[in-house]
Amino acid sequence: MGTIKDNKKGRLIILSSPSGGGKSTICKHLKEKQPELGYSVSTTTRMPRNGEKDGKDYFFVNKKEFKKAVKEGLFAEWAKVHNHYYGTARKVIDDFIKKGKTCLLDIDIQGGLQLMRSYPDAVSIFILPPSFEELERRLRNRKTDSERTIRIRLRNAKKELEYQKFYDHTVVNSILDETINKIVEIINKK
């Protein structure tokens, strides 16, 4: 597997996909295997899942705290995703840029589009599941969401597929190692 080169230049890498596209697994893999890569920790109003830690997986806040941060302009982008709020603190990404680090952002499409506007140098990558059937299978296999949540996510995923045209790169996630290699190549080219 290739490694991400440290080019001492702050770079933002936006990674989006319909839910179930395999993005979380990709990010987890990149985080473990690519020490040069920084990972933006988002703020969310959703409840932590089993094993998730505050400050590591997300900053977990309540709606009131989230809305206050929005009012104060603390987010570089934010969105309502599957009935919860998610946002990227400006400070988190600005700190990475200042340090000259490459920063990976695992964010939804609404947030991705907002960031592309405010950070035109950002590299955007859209992860595609191999097929819609595979996406449904992945969502069900996760066993973390209720049937209602799965149905909401599938409905959203169908709409989300149309947004791939706004992204600089599209990577079909069939085999994890190949997907990772393609992403590393894209990042190193920038």
Told to check if 102 binds ligand 5GP by CB under 6 A, we report no
CA pair distance 18, 139, nearest whole angstrom: 11
Residue number, nearest CB to ligand 5GP: 111
Closest CB 93 distance from ligand 5GP, rounded Å: 10
Q: Which of 88, 102, 124, 179 binds ligand 5GP (CB under 6 A)?
A: 88
Q: Does 86 bind ligand 5GP (CB under 6 A)?
A: yes
Q: How many CB atoms lie within 10 A of CB 81?
A: 18
Tell me if 156 contacts ligand 5GP by CB under 6 A.
Answer: no
User: Token pair for residue 30?
Assistant: 């990149």
Strands 58-60 and 42-44: parallel
Interface positions, 43-82, toward ligand 5GP (CB under 6 A): 46, 77, 79, 81
Closest listed residue to residue 118, CA positions, set 158, 88, 96? 88
C-beta of 127 vs 187, nearer to ligand 5GP: 127
Query: Is 184 within 8 Å of 32 (Cβ atoms)?
Result: no
Contact 168, 124 (CB under 8 A): yes
Number of residues near ligand 5GP (by CB under 6 A): 14
Q: Which residues bind ligand 5GP (CB under 6 A)?
A: 19, 42, 46, 77, 79, 81, 86-88, 106-108, 110-111
